[in-house]
A and B are shown apart, each in its own frame.
Chain A
Amino acid sequence: MEVVQIQRRLVDFTKSLFMEVIPSKKNKTGTLRHTNLLTKISVLCLICLVLLLLVVVDREKGLLDSQFLQLQQLQDESNPDFVVEVVSLFFDDSEKLLNELTIALDQPNVDFKKVDGYVHQLKGSSSSIGAQRVKNACVDFRNFCEVQNIEGCRTCLQQVKQECYLVKNKLETLFRLEQQIVASGGSIPMIEMDF
């Protein structure tokens, strides 16, 4: 039961964190009581998870946006690994696309139409999983494609790659944490945000 209470508190806490600037409720989490090691671990993991999400999910400049939360909500008993599955699909796709883009931009005669096509695709899939910064980088990339600015495109490609790498790392950490929580007997709290 304590775990449940802790979880609930964490959910509330997380919610408040996402909505605005970090409130001064942090102390409350410190007063959680845990009777056993398992509970301790769960709580710690949950806290980490929350903080990570805080960093990652942000309305404007976060690595992820509300679309990611939608994905999490789509996960249910019949699809327990939905989020992990979709994110993996995205990273496989994006890797392929980024490789194609690198090749295409290295050509002597850059086919901007093709490049634009790839970027469009990347933009679509990144926005579907909520990788906000990747999507924004793609938008810039497309603008450069339209004016056929090779240097600009190359710079953007680097930017997109970086963002992809970043969000990939963060998500991997997130999934690892979730795994730990589940392994220690807890359950991942559903975080609902009103974005």
Chain B
Amino acid sequence: MQRVMQSNVSTSAATTSCDGGFTSCKAEEVMISDQFPAGLRVLVVDDDFTCLRILEQMLRRCHYIVTTCSQAKVALNLLRERKGCFDVILSDVYMPDVDGYKLLEHVGLEMDLPVIMMSADGRTSAVMKGIRHGACDYLIKPIREEELKNIWQHVVRKKWNENKELEHSGSLDDADLNKRGNDDAEYDSSVNDATAASLKPQKKRSNTKEEDDGEIDNDDPSTSKKPRLVWSVELHQQFVSAVNQLGVDKAVPKRILELMNVPGLTRENVASHLQKFRLYLKRISGVAQQGAISTPLCGPVEPNVKIGSLGRFNIQVLAASGQIPPQTLVALQAEPLGRSTGNLVMAMDQPALLQASLQWPKCIKVDHGITFVQPFVKCESSSSIHFPQSFAPVEDVTSGFKAWLSNNIPTAGPGNNGGLSSQNGNMLIDLLQQQLQKPQQQSTVPELRCSINVQPSCHVAPSQSSASFQAVNNPVSVTQNGSFSRTAVIDYNLLPYQSNCSSLITGQVSNVNVQSTGVLSGYIPPASVSPSVSSCSVNADNCASQQVQTSSMTFKASRNLPGFVRSTSNVHDPNGSTKPGDLLDQAPFNNLGYINKGTCLPARFAVDGFQSSLSSSSHGKVLCENIGTRVKQEPNMELGDKAKVGIQMLQHFPPHDLLSVSTE
């Protein structure tokens, strides 16, 4: 953990307390939770060094663990890498490289952490804008120490709200209980973490639950309170196709609900999901445009990414390459993931990912500069498909893509998609070629290739989260060939893909059978994962302390992960529903899927462990961790299912998880 942190620290710009943060993370875990809010892990993002220094000192005096960042891109990478390592984020509104609101959106979609905005601009309109973008709070500079003392309330509130929702879903009850139990023993703010981790609502993230399964822990229509709805990949697919049918601009919740025809789904669920989706699309298209202009990489990346990463690209979407208009995005996402379980579910997300990547044109540029998120950074530019750092010529991408497609097609999971995948593959290839024609950045190409190879039938569930970039990553992790993303490439992908993973996983996980219990043994605890993953592994370790089971949780906790990575899956799911057992079986991916689903995962394995780990690890971490752990398991699992799961997981988990996994 320390090693990882070191490397990360060196790369990030002005992260000051990384090391301290991590070490204290561990320490925190063993501390009793009644010290809360001391030990709250805060990430501060501000381009003004003066303010940054002052805030850091103030937060330290409040006994919080502070990590500082002067660039939003770096901060985002940091968040993705170390999922679950932060409880709250303080971000400046006006920053030269990336808008604070964009960062806010990304965090909200990918990590769902409370974000507090700060600015010297105290006008009501500015504050209103911040709230509208989803900020938990808005502080006006100069900030006083007293104001910072209370920021923990946002963390607690969020967790409790999530908890409440999850409780109502019913299926998560066990998880919650388990987690709670573990929390006390583990994390000082375990209560919050646990609930957050287990319950982390993944509206946009693909809760691994499948649609059918999702309903189990999905909202229970009969309950008076609306249970938390987990937007599984399948569900999201349906949603996207419905929106596509109606037209993004004309889609109304009521009509979407009718088109989707999902029992138990309420109009409110759809409405809130639609809102998030719209925001996401807007962001993506906005970024895409900017990206095309500002970052050449971004532009080309996009098309490539889409093609490459997605096994089944929505032709529509691809056609729209360049900048993915919301429609295409929707269309892309609409492609039924379920068709090819083994297939590139990721593909679907890829566009989204691309979008996401595009959104951070700056990020791309940053890649080169920043060492620690490097793999990730690069990936981003390339459209999140993979992490490749090399810049292969565009042609390579095409060929790579083809190869990938061919690989994927056969590997496509059982079932349905076989034909589809091939079709998609062809289409994708065509599209890819088209894309390639366009002026593209080199960077994107190489990545595409990388990702292709890596991911054999990775089932990339379209991640609703903004982190579309990541989608690419998933395939990597799938290592259907058993060679789990050892490649660095994979890692990268994974990194950016954090947000996506969650969403993806949900869909796919269902396929994963817990049957592969044996996998667990083969699973390498995230802890062992490469340092790069640091965040993941760290988390995993923590989680592991409980038991390996809680793979997902463990990631976050970066505790000593037991041999199994199982927890990974659990980690991912703040929903808490993920059953540790499932995770173990399936390889990291499974975890992801299960996590979201919660109910569907067979709790074969010591669920307790999982639960506890979940609780212990900060919820944030779960996401990452799961992926990481799962990835490891991959080799053990059968390709068919595992691949799917793996991919999902990969996507689901924050990139860094994957890295860790691969690096192991």
Q: Is B58 in contact with A74, judged by CB distance below 8 angstroms? A: yes
Specify which chain B residues have a CB less than 8 angstroms from the CB of A129 in the assembled complex: 50, 54
Interface size class of chain B, counting residues whose CB lies under 8 Å from the partner chain? 20 to 34
Q: Is A128 an interface residue when CB atoms closer than 8 A count as contact?
A: yes
Which residues in chain A, 68-115, are within 8 Å of chain B measured between CB atoms? Answer: 70-71, 73-74, 76, 79, 82, 85-86, 89-90, 93
Q: Is A71 in contact with B141, judged by CB distance below 8 angstroms? A: no
Specify which chain B residues have a CB less than 8 angstroms from the CB of A67 in the assembled complex: 142, 144
How far apart sit A120 and B140, CA to CA, in the bound complex (Å)? 13
Q: Is B145 an interface residue when CB atoms closer than 8 A count as contact?
A: yes
Q: Write the nearest CB–CB distance from A130 to chain B, whole angstroms.
A: 7
Give the 10 A-B residue pairs with the shortest CB-CB distance, closest first. A124-B120, A125-B50, A127-B142, A90-B50, A89-B50, A128-B142, A67-B142, A128-B51, A74-B57, A123-B120
Q: Write the nearest CB–CB distance from A81 to chain B, whole angstroms.
A: 11
Q: Which chain B residue shows the least CB distance to A123?
A: B120
How far apart sit A113 and B58, CA to CA, in the bound complex (Å)? 32
Which residues in chain B, 190-229, are within 8 Å of chain A measured between CB atoms? Answer: none
Specify which chain A residues have a CB less than 8 angstroms from the CB of B58 in the assembled complex: 74
How far apart sit A129 and B50, CA to CA, in the bound complex (Å)? 8
| Among candidates A71, A73, A76, A121, residue contacting B48 with C-beta atoms closer than 8 Å | A121
With A70-B144, A74-B58, A128-B142: A120-B121 Cβ-Cβ less than 8 Å: yes
Specify which chain A residues have a CB less than 8 angstroms from the CB of B142 in the assembled complex: 67, 127-128, 130
Specify which chain A residues have a CB less than 8 angstroms from the CB of B143 in the assembled complex: 128
Q: Is A117 an interface residue when CB atoms closer than 8 A count as contact?
A: yes
Specify which chain B residues have a CB less than 8 angstroms from the CB of A76 in the assembled complex: 61
How far apart sit A124 and B121, CA to CA, in the bound complex (Å)? 8
A-B contact pairs, 20 of them (CB 8 A): A67-B144, A70-B144, A76-B61, A79-B57, A85-B53, A86-B54, A86-B57, A89-B49, A90-B50, A93-B49, A120-B120, A123-B120, A124-B92, A124-B119, A124-B141, A125-B51, A128-B54, A128-B142, A128-B143, A130-B142
With A79-B57, A121-B94, A124-B120: A74-B50 Cβ-Cβ less than 8 Å: no
Specify which chain B residues have a CB less than 8 angstroms from the CB of A93 in the assembled complex: 48-50
With A70-B144, A117-B96, A130-B142: A124-B51 Cβ-Cβ less than 8 Å: yes
Q: Is B50 in contact with A82, judged by CB distance below 8 angstroms? A: no
How far apart sit A34 and B104, CA to CA, in the bound complex (Å)? 59
Interface size class of chain A, counting residues whose CB lies under 8 Å from the partner chain? 20 to 34
Specify which chain A residues have a CB less than 8 angstroms from the CB of B94 in the assembled complex: 117, 120-121, 124
Q: Is B120 in contact with A82, judged by CB distance below 8 angstroms? A: no
Q: Which chain A residue shows the least CB distance to B140?
A: A127
How far apart sit A79 and B47, CA to CA, in the bound complex (Å)? 22
How far apart sit A89 and B47, CA to CA, in the bound complex (Å)? 12
**CB within 8 Å of B: which residues of A?**
67, 70-71, 73-74, 76, 79, 82, 85-86, 89-90, 93, 117, 120-121, 123-125, 127-130
How far apart sit A129 and B121, CA to CA, in the bound complex (Å)? 16
How far apart sit A67 and B58, CA to CA, in the bound complex (Å)? 12
Q: Is B145 in contact with A125, judged by CB distance below 8 angstroms? A: no
List 6 additional A-B contacts (Cβ < 8 Å) besides A74-B58, A89-B49, A90-B50: A85-B53, A86-B50, A123-B120, A124-B92, A124-B120, A127-B120
Q: Write the nearest CB–CB distance from B64 to chain A, whole angstroms.
A: 14
Q: Write the nearest CB–CB distance from B419 to chain A, whole angstroms.
A: 54
Provide the main secondary structure of the chain A interface.
helix
Q: Which chain A residue shows the least CB distance to B53?
A: A86
- Interface core residue of A73, A125, A127, A129 (most chain B CB under 10 Å): A125
With A121-B48, A124-B48, A125-B48: A71-B54 Cβ-Cβ less than 8 Å: yes
Q: Is B141 in contact with A128, judged by CB distance below 8 angstroms? A: yes
Q: Is B49 in contact with A82, judged by CB distance below 8 angstroms? A: no
Q: Write the nearest CB–CB distance from A115 to chain B, whole angstroms.
A: 14
Q: Write the nearest CB–CB distance from B390 to chain A, whole angstroms.
A: 36
How far apart sit A79 and B60, CA to CA, in the bound complex (Å)? 11
Mark B328-368 against chain A: 1 for CB-CB distance below 8 A, else 0: 00000000000000000000000000000000000000000
Specify which chain B residues have a CB less than 8 angstroms from the CB of A85 in the assembled complex: 53
Q: Is B53 in contact with A89, judged by CB distance below 8 angstroms? A: yes
Q: Which chain B residue shows the least CB distance to A138?
A: B120
How far apart sit A121 and B143, CA to CA, in the bound complex (Å)? 15
Q: Is A74 in contact with B61, judged by CB distance below 8 angstroms? A: yes
Mark B523-558 against chain A: 1 for CB-CB distance below 8 A, else 0: 000000000000000000000000000000000000
Which residues in chain B, 77-133, are within 8 Å of chain A measured between CB atoms? Answer: 92, 94, 96, 119-121
How far apart sit A127 and B50, CA to CA, in the bound complex (Å)? 10
How far apart sit A129 and B143, CA to CA, in the bound complex (Å)? 10
Q: Write the nearest CB–CB distance from B123 to chain A, whole angstroms.
A: 11
How far apart sit A85 and B49, CA to CA, in the bound complex (Å)? 11
How far apart sit A70 and B141, CA to CA, in the bound complex (Å)? 13
With A120-B94, A121-B94: A127-B141 Cβ-Cβ less than 8 Å: yes
Specify which chain A residues have a CB less than 8 angstroms from the CB of B53 in the assembled complex: 85-86, 89
With A117-B96, A120-B121, A127-B141: A74-B48 Cβ-Cβ less than 8 Å: no
Q: Which chain A residue shows the least CB distance to B46?
A: A124
Q: Write the nearest CB–CB distance from A137 to chain B, whole angstroms.
A: 14
Q: Which chain A residue shows the least CB distance to B119?
A: A124
Which residues in chain B, 249-290, are within 8 Å of chain A measured between CB atoms? Answer: none
Specify which chain B residues have a CB less than 8 angstroms from the CB of A73 in the assembled complex: 145
How far apart sit A127 and B54, CA to CA, in the bound complex (Å)? 11
Specify which chain B residues have a CB less than 8 angstroms from the CB of A74 in the assembled complex: 54, 57-58, 61, 145
Q: Which chain A residue shows the least CB distance to B57?
A: A74
Specify which chain A residues have a CB less than 8 angstroms from the CB of B50 in the assembled complex: 86, 89-90, 93, 125, 128-129
Q: Write the nearest CB–CB distance from A111 to chain B, whole angstroms.
A: 14
Q: Write the nearest CB–CB distance from B46 to chain A, whole angstroms.
A: 9
Q: Write the nearest CB–CB distance from A180 to chain B, whole angstroms.
A: 25
Q: Which chain B residue shows the least CB distance to A76?
A: B61
How far apart sit A127 and B119, CA to CA, in the bound complex (Å)? 11
Specify which chain A residues have a CB less than 8 angstroms from the CB of B48 in the assembled complex: 93, 121, 124-125, 128
Specify which chain B residues have a CB less than 8 angstroms from the CB of A128 in the assembled complex: 48, 50-51, 54, 141-143
Mark B294-329 against chain A: 1 for CB-CB distance below 8 A, else 0: 000000000000000000000000000000000000
- Interface core residue of A79, A121, A124, A125 (most chain B CB under 10 Å): A124
How far apart sit A84 and B145, CA to CA, in the bound complex (Å)? 19
How far apart sit A123 and B145, CA to CA, in the bound complex (Å)? 19
How far apart sit A70 and B147, CA to CA, in the bound complex (Å)? 13
Q: Write the nearest CB–CB distance from A108 to chain B, whole angstroms.
A: 23
Specify which chain A residues have a CB less than 8 angstroms from the CB of B119 in the assembled complex: 124
How far apart sit A128 and B92, CA to CA, in the bound complex (Å)? 13
How far apart sit A76 and B53, CA to CA, in the bound complex (Å)? 14
How far apart sit A70 and B54, CA to CA, in the bound complex (Å)? 10
